[in-house]
Amino acid sequence: MILNPSKGNMYEFITHTWNPIKGKCYHDCSYCYMKNIVAYERPINLVEGELQGDFGLNKFIFLGSSTDEFAQDVPDEWITRVLDCCYNKTKYQQPQNRTRFLIQTKNPKRLLDFINHPLFDVERKQVVVCTTLETNRHYPDIMNNAPLPQERAEAMEIISKKGIDTYVTIEPIMDFDVDEFVSLVKQCNPKQVNIGMNTNQNIKLPAPTIGKAVELISKLNDFTKVHIKANAEILNMALLQAKIVLK
């Protein structure tokens, strides 16, 4: 088992990343940073050695930071084995120091097939389910095989209603329709919204103006916590100038 300490452009609130399933992601989003890594082009595979070892205590682990664990082409058996590993290695930990997992997927509808797994027991408060919503719009040449943003939000709404904490990540933020996008994010009932910019210098994306992004953040701030990632510091500066204080 290889737990990688959080670094680089990873979430600041995450302690480690863990990738038991490796290889090319089915979604094939054009901006994905993993495309710069040779191993990304290999077929997906479940690495048996990653299921050995121990997570330890008091960690917040991003499960599947390099390949979407719930993509369409990932076998059910692999997903079950990974979830079993997470649960079995932490089930006797005490609530006050229990290791938690962030599961981020662009295919939360697939995650619903596994929602009765004990890892998702709402009493344990051990999992946060996050989805990426770069925009409310569909950019087929950018999103490629990823489910539509509306489909992601519909599944996240169901997950949230089951009592599981949800996050939304808007990264890389792409041009959007303000009211429609706010409504889409709100449908997910997120405890937190993370916002980041495009960091792939080789890919040009349809980005919103800073003013439009600030308007979005202001409206999101009315109903949830907004976390600006380190790669979007320009947005923090704009919020300061607009005298908008985040929760």
- 8 Å CB contact between 159 and 115: yes
Please give the share of the chain, as a percent, with pLDDT higher than 70.
99
CA distance 64 to 24: 12
* Lowest-pLDDT range of 1-10, 34-43, 49-58, 110-119: 34-43
Which tokens go with 42? 């290999």
Q: pLDDT value at position 209?
A: 97
- This prediction's pTM: 0.94
Give the closest residue to 68 by CA, choosing from 120, 108, 38. Answer: 108
Tell me the fold of 4-241.
TIM Barrel (3.20.20)
Give the residue extent of every domain in the chain: 4-241
Q: pLDDT value at position 38?
A: 54
- Residue 39's pLDDT band, with cuts at 50, 70 and 90, is low
CA distance 171 to 194: 8
**pLDDT at residue 199 is higher than 80:** yes
**Start-to-end Cα distance in the chain:** 37
Dump pLDDT digits (tens) for 82-130: 999 999 999 999 999 999 999 999 999 999 999 999 999 999 999 999 9
Please provide the average confidence, as pLDDT, over all residues in the chain.
94
Q: pLDDT value at position 42?
A: 84
Q: pLDDT value at position 41?
A: 74
Dump pLDDT digits (tens) for 163-191: 999 999 999 999 999 999 999 999 999 99
**CA geometry: angle at 31 spanning 51 and 200, to 5°?**
100
Three-state SS string over 128-169 comes to EEEEECCCCCCCHHHHCCCCCHHHHHHHHHHHHHCCCEEEEE
Q: pLDDT value at position 33?
A: 80
Between 147 and 10, the more confident residue is 147
